[in-house]
Structure 1
Amino acid sequence: MITSEIGFEEIASYLNRSGWVRSLSGRIAEVWQSQADANLSVIVPKLSDAPDFQRNLMMLTSEIARRENRPPEEVAREISRQFIDVTDLRAEDDSITDGTIPLNAGIHLFSSANRLMVSAAAATMTRQGSYGRSMPRAAHQHARRMRIGQTRPGSYIVPIISSARFGSLVDRDSTEPQLRMESADSYFDRRILTTLSRALETLAEMAVNREHSPSRDEMLSSVDEGVSSELCSAVLDVLLKGEVSVFDVKFNWAPSSPAPEFALDEVTFTEDSIHILGNVKAELEESQIPSERILFGVIRRLSLKANESSGRVAMETVIDGKKRTVSFDLDLETYRRAAIYHGERRPVVVRGILDAPPGRNATMKVSGFDADHSALSFDGLALF
């Protein structure tokens, strides 16, 4: 069972999304009323350090469970998940039907969990075909922030828990879009999972969802989506070294915030994909693809001169822990999208070769630009 610490914010978030409205509010408790039944109300404790908080919480979950006709522990689990993303790594062995997997498979499943998150964290910062000894130290640091929950039945499931408690990325009080430095880091765990979802989807499209092997160009292009030799190794850890027939990754996004745009909720690999996965891994290890930096931020200024084939964009971002402004050129079609995102105060992401010498203007030769699909925020007002 996945549970995290339950406090007032988790309870209020759950009730708000389950057809309840606040009717009375006080310092130590609130009364919430069912929108479906005006005669049904519950008392919500607010002080988690109060001696009777746990007892009142049990009474609350029991009442909600009775109304929803399901077990109280299931309600408690969903309440606890309001501000966490849970990524389920599942291994299945066709020859075993009792919900277990071989010891060797379990060892490699746990090893794969770490390698998946480290490779996704690295690809969220820089795109490379293979990191090797250049794996960013910060990638390991970010992966260490995540936690492993209790394993669950369903073949064999290892849940990875990460924070999904966000602040607004854009300053609400400024007349122009400005990045809120204190909120920028709160999104990184979600961005890791967004990268992982897209990278695994791309890898599965090459290795599982087709009848022929991918071309070399397709393998190299997959780096743009976050695929790396390390990601391939993480999947092969389970299928090849662990000797299981199925390995899938399921993303359970926190109910309190919108799921990332265009991110799949589940990706599956089978033992039949081992050969292609090995080929992709080997190709990316030998590739000489230049490393490209990934930057997240908000657009501060735009400039488009008459008869020019490109427009100039200045984006506020964070580089090495400091707020910086990076300037870059975009073709006219992409520039028009940038102008829309600027008007919406929507966070954006750019990929390319960065030149950011200390004490001088930072510039980037951009190869990719889009809205930041992992952080949905418009007009400085968070949607969550």
Structure 2
Amino acid sequence: MTDQTATRRDVASFLTRNGWVPDRGGLIGELWRPTAAPSGSAIAVPYELDAGTAEYRAVIARLADHAAVSLQDMADEIEREFRDIHHYKIGDRFVVDESVLLDSASTVLTNARRMVRAAATTARKPRPTIGANYSPPGDAFAAQMRLSHTRRGSFVLPVVMPVEPPELSDGEILGDRTAVEPGERRVTRTLAAAVAAINSVVVVPDREPTTDDVIHLIQSGVSSEIVAAVRAIATDSGVQSLDIRFQWAPGLQAPGGIPERVVIPDEAATVLSRVERKLKRSRPETSESLSGQIVEIRHVPDEPMGEIAIRTIRNNRSAEVRITTPADVIRSAYDWAKQSRAIIARGNVVTSPGRPLSIPRPEQLQPIDELFAAPH
């Protein structure tokens, strides 16, 4: 995809999301009108649109005028359409003349990269420790991360993950095809869940994690490498906390159940060290855990059992796995899917020639966020 078509894609997604529809197309572009005021002025959007051209500035100016916002705010909003962003904040008391210690900023960025790389691997397969066994496809996603520019005021380092527009699944939920979570979103969603789980399961209760706690951490995407990176940021003398906020690309539905902001103070260093050691000593589960979004639900009314299908990664390949489950879970699954909550399923995966992968007798089936949302 060229920069011109990507920019046009972002503009078209923004317009669609905000109630605009294309009126008619010509040789070089389309006219878009707001559905709330179809008789109002249309905006001409070229099929190819470069962010540095007069045509692009004209589109931004018309949209900014329509929304009653500044040109810069409108340009920023469209730029974010397909970008997930982690904002790493350095506390105001460490900011002097709008600058921070170089070593502290370096610590944040180095360990942000470590967290992203580890999450890109655990997003494909939960594991307590990675060592040298990073996933090459995961590394390819992690390599797409970019550092954006900071804003005046609070010192925040924005780390950006460009995401692809979602494809639609083959299956349906309540008659609608599901937008499939792209791989880039899966990485950031896994990192967000992992950091939230560390905070909820380990830091807030401030105690040695139980065996079940460790399992929940691993299923949430936590590895010893992520814990080590969190601790390194939180204990840096010029930072003294991991303060991270996630801003989801508006062109995709935000993942449900994940807190927008997590703050882990340096006082958590001791318990984080214990968790890191415990994860390094953990052994893989005997049954398989798979995570992903619900892409299809099958249930015949009045039947006691039904099936949900999740899109996941297995053996380094994208796969759909069908899970047999009671009718009461099926009813909950419709809400989980609507809220875009990622699901964890554990059990023995059955493979049969010519048939989809399945877990006919799951040991566990629930939203991942339930692993760290409940009090511990």
Output the TM-score relative to the length of structure 2: 0.75
The secondary structure found in structure 1 opposite 2:168 is: coil
On the 8 A contact 1:203/1:222 being kept in 2, the answer is: yes
CA–CA distance in structure 2, aligned partners of residues 115 and 4 of structure 1: 32
Q: Deviations along 1:328-349, whole A, 9 cap, x unmatched?
A: 66577547767x69x99x9985
On the 8 A contact 2:203/2:268 being kept in 1, the answer is: yes
The secondary structure found in structure 1 opposite 2:170 is: coil
Deviation at 1:243, TM superposition (A): 4.0
Relative to structure 1, the CA distance from residue 18 to residue 334 in structure 2 (aligned partners, 3 Å threshold; closer, same or farther) is closer
User: After superposition, where does 1:104-115 map in structure 2 within 5 Å?
Assistant: 104-115=103-114
What residue in structure 2 maps to residue 378 of structure 1? Answer: none
1:199 and 2:194 are equivalent in the alignment: yes
Structure with higher RCO (Cα < 8 A, 6+ apart): 1
What residue in structure 2 maps to residue 234 of structure 1? Answer: 229
On the 8 A contact 2:120/2:187 being kept in 1, the answer is: yes
Deviation at 1:370, TM superposition (A): 4.2
Deviation at 1:78, TM superposition (A): 0.8
The secondary structure found in structure 1 opposite 2:132 is: helix
What residue in structure 2 maps to residue 381 of structure 1? Answer: none
Q: Deviations along 1:85-129, whole A, 9 cap, x unmatched?
A: 222222336243433221111222111222111222222222222
Deviation at 1:239, TM superposition (A): 2.0
1:260 and 2:259 are equivalent in the alignment: no
The secondary structure found in structure 2 opposite 1:132 is: coil
What residue in structure 2 maps to residue 82 of structure 1? Answer: 81
CA–CA distance in structure 1, aligned partners of residues 327 and 171 of structure 2: 28
CA–CA distance in structure 2, aligned partners of residues 287 and 226 of structure 1: 14
What residue in structure 2 maps to residue 44 of structure 1? Answer: 44
Which ranges in structure 2 are unaligned for 5 or more consecutive residues?
370-376
What residue in structure 1 maps to residue 219 of structure 2? Answer: 224
CA–CA distance in structure 1, aligned partners of residues 118 and 318 of structure 2: 25
Relative to structure 1, the CA distance from residue 99 to residue 269 in structure 2 (aligned partners, 3 Å threshold; closer, same or farther) is farther
Alpha carbon RMSD of aligned pairs, Å? Answer: 4.3
On the 8 A contact 1:109/1:242 being kept in 2, the answer is: no
CA–CA distance in structure 2, aligned partners of residues 360 and 17 of structure 1: 39
Output the TM-score relative to the length of structure 1: 0.74
The secondary structure found in structure 2 opposite 1:30 is: strand
On the 8 A contact 2:291/2:344 being kept in 1, the answer is: yes
Paired amino acid for 1:261: G
1:275 and 2:274 are equivalent in the alignment: no
CA–CA distance in structure 2, aligned partners of residues 206 and 271 of structure 1: 16
Paired amino acid for 2:12: A
1:59 and 2:54 are equivalent in the alignment: no
Q: Deviations along 1:41-64, whole A, 9 cap, x unmatched?
A: 2432323268x9821221222233
Relative to structure 1, the CA distance from residue 53 to residue 152 in structure 2 (aligned partners, 3 Å threshold; closer, same or farther) is closer
CA–CA distance in structure 1, aligned partners of residues 255 and 142 of structure 2: 19
Percent identical among aligned pairs is 19
Deviation at 1:10, TM superposition (A): 1.9
The secondary structure found in structure 1 opposite 2:244 is: strand
Relative to structure 1, the CA distance from residue 285 to residue 66 in structure 2 (aligned partners, 3 Å threshold; closer, same or farther) is same
The secondary structure found in structure 1 opposite 2:75 is: helix
Deviation at 1:283, TM superposition (A): 1.8
Paired amino acid for 2:75: A
User: After superposition, where does 1:1-384 map in structure 2 within 5 Å?
Assistant: 7-18=7-18, 20-34=20-34, 40-48=40-48, 54-92=53-91, 94-153=93-152, 154-170=154-170, 187-210=182-205, 212-217=206-211, 219-220=213-214, 221-241=216-236, 243-290=238-285, 292-294=288-290, 296=292, 298=295, 319-320=314-315, 330=325, 334=329, 349-352=343-346, 366-370=362-366
Relative to structure 1, the CA distance from residue 262 to residue 91 in structure 2 (aligned partners, 3 Å threshold; closer, same or farther) is same
Deviation at 1:76, TM superposition (A): 1.0
On the 8 A contact 1:299/1:347 being kept in 2, the answer is: no
Paired amino acid for 1:10: D
Deviation at 1:371, TM superposition (A): 6.6
Paired amino acid for 1:216: T
CA–CA distance in structure 2, aligned partners of residues 111 and 324 of structure 1: 33
Relative to structure 1, the CA distance from residue 150 to residue 259 in structure 2 (aligned partners, 3 Å threshold; closer, same or farther) is same
Deviation at 1:80, TM superposition (A): 1.9
Paired amino acid for 2:60: T
Which ranges in structure 1 are unaligned for 5 or more consecutive residues?
374-384
Aligned residue pair count: 359
CA–CA distance in structure 1, aligned partners of residues 147 and 248 of structure 2: 16
Deviation at 1:40, TM superposition (A): 4.8
* Structure 1 range deviating more: 7-16 or 38-47: 38-47
Q: Deviations along 1:310-368, whole A, 9 cap, x unmatched?
A: 96969586644667675666577547767x69x99x99855436667897986657443
CA–CA distance in structure 2, aligned partners of residues 219 and 39 of structure 1: 58
